Amino acid sequence: MTKIERTGLTRRALLARSVAAGALCVTGAGFIAAPNAAWAVEVTVITEHQMATLLQMARDIYPHDQVGDQFYAVAVKGYDAEDKKALVEEGIAALDAAAQAAGHADYVSMGWEEDRVKVLQSMEDSGFFQTVRGGLVTGLYNQKEVWPIFGYQGESFSQGGYIDRGFDDIDWL
């Protein structure tokens, strides 16, 4: 099963095993992890390269510089599943082919977001892109752990609403 877990690997071990550029490291050990070892995604069905590409793609579709990779990882981890395997294989192959046509080794090794976005735009109408994008709308923004990063407070009923907690506290008008 796919899961997000804190890894016990040292930073040095991860760096030694990583094969991809960028913030995400493909470790080649059945999971990918953050370079600082803060988190990792285990993969059992799709490849590490495919999961790393999905993560980068998620960041490029809905880029929020203040939102850590672990939240994007949660949003795409469901693609490590038998019923998603064909979609992912075909979609990532197309993405990498488009990157190669633009003179790069593959999608994740394109250094600039702007270049990656051009590749995504070229396949914007594909079922793969629309599935990943549509899934992120709930997969990313409906994570309660993400809300505080945007300042959103979620439910307030348990605290008695905002009647005594600032529903009208705007002070700059």
What is the contact surface with another protein in residues (CB under 8 A)? 60-64, 66, 117, 133, 137-138, 140-142, 146-147, 150-157, 160-163, 165-170, 172-173
The distance of closest approach from Cβ of residue 71 to another protein in the complex, given in angstroms and rounded to an integer, is 13
How far is it, in rounded angstroms, from Cα 16 to Cα 50?
20
Element (H, E) at 113: helix 113-122
The distance of closest approach from Cβ of residue 120 to another protein in the complex, given in angstroms and rounded to an integer, is 8
CB closer to another protein, 103 vs 160: 160
Q: How many CB atoms lie within 10 A of CB 123?
A: 16
CB closer to another protein, 86 vs 170: 170
CB closer to another protein, 100 vs 153: 153
How far is it, in rounded angstroms, from Cα 170 to Cα 173?
7
Query: Tokens representing 139?
Result: 């997969």
CB closer to another protein, 51 vs 140: 140
Query: Distance between terminal CA atoms of the chain?
Result: 52
The distance of closest approach from Cβ of residue 158 to another protein in the complex, given in angstroms and rounded to an integer, is 8
Query: Tokens representing 171?
Result: 């002070």
Q: Computed over its alpha carbons, how large is the radius of gyration of the chain?
A: 18
The distance of closest approach from Cβ of residue 129 to another protein in the complex, given in angstroms and rounded to an integer, is 9
How far is it, in rounded angstroms, from Cα 117 to Cα 147?
25
CB closer to another protein, 65 vs 82: 65
Q: How many CB atoms lie within 10 A of CB 57?
A: 24
Residues in the chain: 173
The distance of closest approach from Cβ of residue 91 to another protein in the complex, given in angstroms and rounded to an integer, is 16
